[in-house]
Amino acid sequence: MQKNSTLAFNRFLPLACSLGAVVYLGIFINERAGLAAGIGIALGICLYHAAFGFTSAWRRFLTERWGAGLKAQVIMLAVVVTLFFPTLDSGHIWGQSVYGFVAPAGTGVIVGAFLFGIGMQIASGCASGTLFTVGGGSLRMVVTLFAFMMGSVLATLNLPFWHELPKLAPISMISLWGWKLALAFHLVLFWGLYQLVKKMEKKEEPSTGHLAEPETTGFLQRIVQGPWPLVLGAVGLAVLNFVMLATLGHPWGITSGITFWGGKLVTFLGADLSSVPYWSGQTEALQGSLFNNDASSSNIGIVLGAMSAAVLAGKFGKNQNLSARGIITALIGGVLLGYGARLAYGCNIGAFFSGVASGSLHGWVWLVAALAGNMVGIRVVKIFSLR
């Protein structure tokens, strides 16, 4: 009995410490950063327990016609636009002003999303996937995250060139059509996509992200230790994205925080970014706390949440296989992820998930280009036996 109690205490300790750190941060340091980190912890738990990754879902559909992952993503998008569209149209909620991620759709988005898609398959992870697997104790994804940071900083040096290439003005379907028509259009589109995936998939598999647990696993134990059904993870991510919109005033984004980490690192190492347009006005932030950036704060929360979930599940740091080939692919894939995300105004979360949630055309352009990149990435991995 005492041994079981000690084990339970040890497994809950990281979560308790993470939540305690968020409370301390919110009360004594920065209330906004505390909110972002707290939401990030919930996102990390959700991502880890549902193993909600875009990379594996897209790869398995393209190579095996396994559709559960894509269907869960469609459900996630349907839920999030239902929550976002009327709120963004009103411009405020609960006294909080809100705005969406609406960006130009053009050359930078197409090239950036394409490169990001290739990087997804080489690195075996996207932006959210990199963070939650780092939290789960993966050393290989720590390498990917470092390369992601460096690729992002490199892209900031070239952004003026990419921004001058042909592009459309930012287009919001909410502003263009009104939120009701835009929502109806999106829900019909999602229904069609769901039916298309259902028709194309070869067979239905259990929609859990991890290996199935015994049928005797209780509901509470399943919630605490996982695995969660993909659909539960999908709905959870959509709701948490809306919580971020309602509390912080903007949707969920990841890569601006990773770029911020990279900027702080190279500044610490002696680089001067003051002449780079992307970093203009951020000199003071780069010299300050990691919690001066909302995405940085929520990213830290995601890592902590995923770590807590991994410890609760007894899977932290399992299945380590850090080979020389793994390090090389992590570096190459990570640089492509970082560079591509900065060009495309974000990643699978900021550009696609939150872009579509914001009614922005660039979110859909990102999806098409990223899927093409994934196809190429899958082929590259196969040709060079990278996995």
Q: What is the pLDDT of residues 248-274, one digit of tens each?
A: 999 999 999 999 999 999 999 999 998
Burial of 205: CB neighbours in 10 Å, binned 0-12, 13-18, 19+: middle
Neighbouring-strand partners of residue 160: none
Question: What is the helix (H) or strand (E) element at residue 353, kind and residue range?
Answer: none
Q: Provide the Cα torsion 147, 153, 158, 160; round to 10°.
A: 140
**DSSP output for 254-273:** -HHHHHHHHHHHHHHTT---
Q: CB count, 10 Å around CB of 203?
A: 9
Helices (H) and strands (E) in the chain, counts: 17, 2
Stretch 341-367: mean pLDDT: 98
Stretch 287-309: mean pLDDT: 94
Rounded distance, CA 379 to CA 386, Å?
10
Stretch 220-229: mean pLDDT: 82
- For the chain, strand residue ranges (E) read 92-93, 96-97
Q: 114-123, 209-218, 276-285, 366-375: which has the minimum mean pLDDT?
A: 209-218
pLDDT above 80 for 318: no
